[in-house]
Chain A
Amino acid sequence: MTVGDTDNLSQNQTASQAVQAATPSELAAALKREHPEWISEVVDALNETTAFVNRDHIVAVCAYLKSAPETSFDFLADLSGVDRGPEEEPRFEVNYHLFSTTKYHRLRLKILLSDEDPHVPTVTGVWRTANWHERETFDLFGVVFVGHPDLRRILLPDDWQGYALRKDFPLRGYEPYSLK
């Protein structure tokens, strides 16, 4: 990228997409066409691509995205949870922020989980860095990563009651508030 055309690129999204051969958005859309059961939806917003992944296939999707040469998402930058609130359904999101150390592109995978069944297969077998991220998400949201080698609380004490980052957990004190 030269100095002169950077201003145009930041304003013009299509031009920046033309620089790369295949954008994460196109790659995710292609994967959706190939395996419709893996990915339910691909959303582009604010120059970021989000692929909504079916929970049961997350390990297969991650392993594919990591190993396929055109995607080569070999770096799990981040894994975190979101609580949309106790009245929402599905209630929880788990976000996987993928990065490629060779192609420098990024992709977000998103899994939606219900309040009754917050279980996700672990991706520690794909990236070992997922270990602590998943422990943190378990610790603060109560999302259970099935098959995780060492699923213990990481930031809060072992005897902590409840999940601190859930929306119904109070900012102060220990008693969850009631919406009624």
Chain B
Amino acid sequence: MSSSVRLPPSVEIVDQPLDTQMTISMGPQHPSTHGVLRLELVLDGEMVVKAKPDIGYLHTGMEKLFEYKKYQQGIVITDRMDYLNPLGNNLAYVMAVEKLLQLEIPERAQTIRVLFCELQRIASHLVWLGTHALDIGAMTVFFYCFREREKILNLIEAASGGRLTPSYFRIGGLMMDLPPGFERRVQQFQEAFPSAVDEFHKLLTGNKIFQKRTQGVGYISAEDAIDWGLSGPCLRGSGVKLDIRRANPYSSYEQYDFEVPTENGGDVWARYLVRMREMKESHRIVGQALARLKPGPVKADAPKVVLPDREAMKRHMDALIHHFLIVAEGFDVPVGEVYLPIEASKGELGVYVKSDGGPKPARVHVRGPSFVNLSALPHMSEGAMVADIVAIIGSLDIVLGEIDR
């Protein structure tokens, strides 16, 4: 001890570095936290004793904002929650409002919704796969994934005009019908996609380093997964065969033939395999939806809720009046409350809407799957190595825009 520092005799200096615990702050500007997530890690050497997520850096008060916007204006807010799965968010929100209004949605609109939701699920899983592999150290996969995702974003752009914020699903149907030649473009994607998945498998699944980094890491049992409210691929990775598309079918999902992939490992590797298989299943559903597309209306027959076509507005006085009233004053939604869950790419996305009878919702609450899945992170990561935290966060597939809302 240097002579310049004088300590009172009662203070005892602990000078045994191997016995001490260290607290480090991981994030919020850490690239593998997928946004602005901060983790407070208590470490013993390199082992994680305790992990505490600290969220809220991206909180933008979306649930408050819903209460000040008309129902149809709320759709654009949902785009910005889980920005990797905006069409899934659109769907959950518009279906909740449609349930309050008790609207019948035409078959073609439902089929197109399924088609886009599954394309979006593939796109979301591709971002997950690319960034997850990148976090663990495999850089090449990232570029292959984003190349495929680009094709899907182009399809979404062709139909809606937006790539990340499509707002394509509207209350009562769709923004507009598909552009000419759209089916052919989807068909081209469909033909190329299976070989792309095979490429991902070649790059990662047989990769010994990737296996070592993921197998046995971040284990959670089926009971704990249910107790922690995990949903989606994280829950199915623990061997629970649960998919909202099967359990509480919506948008005619009961008419599609697809498997619900499950793995019993409960670790990062199992969740990886589940998502890889899910992409193939989504690919199958897109093919079926494409085959089911029949000409027909894409908007419900509810002139007071659904915006009229431009052509009708030029010819019919009442269409013009309805258009003006919907845009200027909105439409009243009957008093009631609904909770509508869908199977988003990350798990159960539930939208709770309470109406007090006016054109603006009294309360909108979003049960984000990322929010709930992240809350199980401390449980999964205690006893793991610091480097494994990165793998576990990647396997949860979180989007902070949805967690913080």
Nearest B residue to A84 via CB reads: B362
Per-residue CB contact flags for chain A residues 110-148 toward chain B (1 = under 8 Å, else 0) read 000000000000000001110111001000100000000
B-chain residues with CB within 8 Å of residue A48 when the two chains form the complex: 337-339
Q: How many Å from the CB of B305 to the closest CB on chain A?
A: 16
A-chain residues with CB within 8 Å of residue B330 when the two chains form the complex: none
User: Given contacts A48-B338, A80-B365, are A106 and B248 in contact (CB under 8 A)?
Assistant: yes
The answer to the question of A27 belonging to the interface, with a C-beta cut-off of 8 Å to chain B, is no
Stretch at the interface among B63-71, B82-90, B169-177: B63-71
Interface residues of A in 97-112 (CB under 8 A from B): 97, 99, 101, 104, 106, 108
The answer to the question of B247 belonging to the interface, with a C-beta cut-off of 8 Å to chain A, is yes
B-chain residues with CB within 8 Å of residue A157 when the two chains form the complex: 56
Nearest B residue to A166 via CB reads: B64
Q: Report which of A6, A78, A84, A140 forms a contact with B352, defined as CB distance below 8 A.
A: A78
- Are A46 and B56 in contact, CB atoms less than 8 angstroms apart? no
- Are B56 and A156 in contact, CB atoms less than 8 angstroms apart? yes
Q: Report which of A80, A101, A131 forms a contact with B375, defined as CB distance below 8 A.
A: A131
Q: Report which of B55, B363, B375 forms a contact with A82, defined as CB distance below 8 A.
A: B363
Q: How many A-B residue pairs have CB under 8 A?
A: 101
Nearest A residue to B340 via CB reads: A48
Q: Report which of B56, B64, B255, B339 forms a contact with A165, defined as CB distance below 8 A.
A: B64
The answer to the question of A95 belonging to the interface, with a C-beta cut-off of 8 Å to chain B, is yes
Interface residues of B in 140-195 (CB under 8 A from A): none
A-chain residues with CB within 8 Å of residue B348 when the two chains form the complex: 77, 99
The answer to the question of B311 belonging to the interface, with a C-beta cut-off of 8 Å to chain A, is no
Per-residue CB contact flags for chain B residues 309-347 toward chain A (1 = under 8 Å, else 0) read 000000000000000000000000000111101000000
A-chain residues with CB within 8 Å of residue B379 when the two chains form the complex: 128
A47, A74, A78, A164 — most chain B CB neighbours (10 Å)? A78
The answer to the question of B204 belonging to the interface, with a C-beta cut-off of 8 Å to chain A, is no
A-chain residues with CB within 8 Å of residue B227 when the two chains form the complex: 74, 127-129
A50, A99, A127 — most chain B CB neighbours (10 Å)? A99
Give A171 to B66 CA distance when docked, in angstroms.
Answer: 10
Q: Report which of B247, B338, B367 forms a contact with A78, defined as CB distance below 8 A.
A: B367
Interface residues of B in 224-248 (CB under 8 A from A): 226-229, 240, 242, 247-248
The answer to the question of B46 belonging to the interface, with a C-beta cut-off of 8 Å to chain A, is no
Give A104 to B348 CA distance when docked, in angstroms.
Answer: 13
- Are B367 and A77 in contact, CB atoms less than 8 angstroms apart? yes
A-chain residues with CB within 8 Å of residue B352 when the two chains form the complex: 78, 80, 95, 97
B-chain residues with CB within 8 Å of residue A153 when the two chains form the complex: 56
Q: How many Å from the CB of A158 to the closest CB on chain B?
A: 10
The answer to the question of A59 belonging to the interface, with a C-beta cut-off of 8 Å to chain B, is no
B226, B229, B379 — most chain A CB neighbours (10 Å)? B229
Q: How many Å from the CB of A178 to the closest CB on chain B?
A: 18
B-chain residues with CB within 8 Å of residue A127 when the two chains form the complex: 227, 229
A-chain residues with CB within 8 Å of residue B404 when the two chains form the complex: 155
The answer to the question of B294 belonging to the interface, with a C-beta cut-off of 8 Å to chain A, is no
Per-residue CB contact flags for chain A residues 58-84 toward chain B (1 = under 8 Å, else 0) read 000000000000000011111010111
- Are B375 and A108 in contact, CB atoms less than 8 angstroms apart? no
The answer to the question of A3 belonging to the interface, with a C-beta cut-off of 8 Å to chain B, is yes
The answer to the question of B61 belonging to the interface, with a C-beta cut-off of 8 Å to chain A, is yes
- Are B228 and A82 in contact, CB atoms less than 8 angstroms apart? no
Q: Can you list 5 A-B pairs with a CB-CB distance of less than 8 A?
A: A46-B99, A48-B337, A95-B337, A99-B341, A104-B248
Closest 4 CB pairs of A and B: A129-B229, A78-B367, A104-B247, A155-B56
Chain A positions within 8 Å of B, measured between CB atoms, are 1, 3, 6, 45-48, 50, 74-78, 80, 82-84, 95, 97, 99, 101, 104, 106, 108, 127-129, 131-133, 136, 140, 153-157, 164-165, 169, 171
Chain B positions within 8 Å of A, measured between CB atoms, are 55-56, 59, 61, 63-65, 68, 99-100, 102, 226-229, 240, 242, 247-249, 252, 254-255, 336-339, 341, 348, 350, 352, 354, 362-363, 365, 367, 371-372, 375-376, 379, 404-405
